[in-house]
Structure 1
Amino acid sequence: LGERFQLAGFLAESLYELHASRWLHKSINSHNILFFQYDAQRILDQQLSSPVSLANPYFTGFALARPDDPNPDTDKIAPDTDVGIYRHPDVQGLSGRPIAQYHCLHDIYSLGAVLLEIGTWCPLSTFYQTGQSGPAFRDRLLQRKVPLLGISMGENYMAAVRKCLDSRFDGMQ
């Protein structure tokens, strides 16, 4: 459990640093997070339960990343469902909805989706029902899945994930 908290904290801090440099990732999802193995000797010496370190993840998938500016000519690529479910409903492009201009809140939503996966230790795709609209999927996560985090990860973690997914931050765009 401690490793999952550490992983979640590291990812949140990494996104904060990216946004502080006025850049948007635009493709945050668990497919774009890399983990590396410990070396074999360390595994033996420390009797580690897993050969993979969750303590040092790396964001990848920067193909869509760009500076955070009001340029209306930003990428409006509708991703496939596997990746689209991580994106805020306004920028998913699922169910034929128009795609809005991308803002940092949309990255935060995607982080919330990854944090939900970390908290439940289940892929986000297991919660998605084929054909479900983006807003309906978000509502389902907020109403049925996020409350379960209170038991497994604690109230503060649950509140943080809820805040990311409901995207209600005063004064932010």
Structure 2
Amino acid sequence: MQSALERAYRHWDRVAGMEAPEAYVRRILATDHHRRRGRGPVTVSLADYDVPVRDASHAVDDHDAVIRMLNGLPPRMRAVLVLRYYDDMTEAQIAEALGISLGTVKSQAARGLAKLRESMAAQQMTAQQTAAQQTAAQQTAAQQTAAQQTAAQKEAAQQTAAQKEEPTA
């Protein structure tokens, strides 16, 4: 089944131009299933496909943060920003789609961007404070560990000195 999807993907520019590309892909899957029914599993070497992939987790985190900030905006302001920057609509198209004036679109976009900038600044400030608190906690823990080690060393030295002073029988 995977090889059938792979073939469809390789020729997608041709498949996408068809009248019903989804139906065509389903047909490929059905034909492939019937053709392979009597055969055993096909083994494919993955060595040719084993290439390093860029870690996209930071981009996902950034996207998630933007979506959360957008959800904090009033509905019309959010709609204006989403239509402008995610759907790449012009201000005139947005005004027509939302049934508001062009001036309202401009003001909502400006205010929305300002609020997003404020939210981002506050989020960065919070992240910096959290990092500073973690660093301070780590330093305090290190100091406590060093103090405990010093106390243990002093106690061990006192015990050694006491043992040397005791008379042996």
Q: TM-score, normalised by structure 1?
A: 0.20
Q: More helix per residue: 1 or 2?
A: 2
Determine which structure has greater relative contact order: mean sequence separation of CA pairs < 8 Å that are 6+ residues apart, divided by chain length: 1
Q: Which has the larger radius of gyration?
A: 2
Q: More strand per residue: 1 or 2?
A: 1
